[in-house]
Amino acid sequence: MKKFIAIVFAAVYLVACGPSQKVTSSWKSPEIPNKKYNSVFIMAMIENQSARNIIETDLANAATAKGLKVYKSTEHFAPNFKQGNLPGKQEIIDKVRSLGCEALMTVALVDKTSETRYVPGTATYMPYGSYGYGWGGYYGYGMSTYNPGYYTTDKTYFVESHIFDVESEKMIWSAQSEAYNPSSISKFSRDYTTVLADRISKDLAIK
């Protein structure tokens, strides 16, 4: 019985402490231009202006740390990125070219799923020395150490990122990732930047 309980606690620990975000797949073009990229335009295609700014800033900081000259869409396009108010694709590429950017990086939330699950209650068992309590003492102690179960909703966000060569307008890299129950947009953005930068470093020889 003790061994079984240890296994259960170990499983719960691994789930709770496992990575909340990961890149599930990536792709790179077999025809990546043989040139060094020195600048990038970053565009988070997200309606929420605050989230868009946080994500672009974190990605921009990571790119700047690698020596790239970075431009953010929040500095060059209207804050309202809702359907029907999006800049046209030609308008975007013209702006990127006018800035002298060589690469265009986009980030978009493509899907979200929700799943409700029941979290069982927990109880702290009375020590052996406590046996012999009367009903009143036992009941009061038992109720004070019992935490009732509850329902919670898990959310998984699916995000895609693409990198385009501005001169040819061809996609040279793409990645899909999942974020599980992010506690805040800031935490999501930091984790996303970390996993994305790691995968780009592994997939591409772009400095």
Specify the pairing of strand 146-147 against strand 122-123: antiparallel
Model pLDDT for residues 111-159, shown as the tens digit of each residue: 788 777 777 776 655 554 555 555 555 555 555 556 677 777 888 888 9
- Read off the pLDDT of each residue in 166-189 and give the average, rounded to a whole number: 91
39-65: average pLDDT: 92
Q: Does the domain formed by 19-117+150-203 have CATH 3.10.20.30?
A: no
CB 107 within 8 A of CB 160: yes
Q: Do the beta carbons of residue 10 and residue 170 sit within 8 Å? A: no
- Write down the domain spans for the chain: 19-117+150-203
Residues 119 and 204: their CA atoms lie apart, in Å, by 42
Cβ atoms of 194 and 203 closer than 8 Å: no
pLDDT of residue 6: 34
The band of 203, judged by pLDDT with boundaries at 50, 70 and 90, is confident
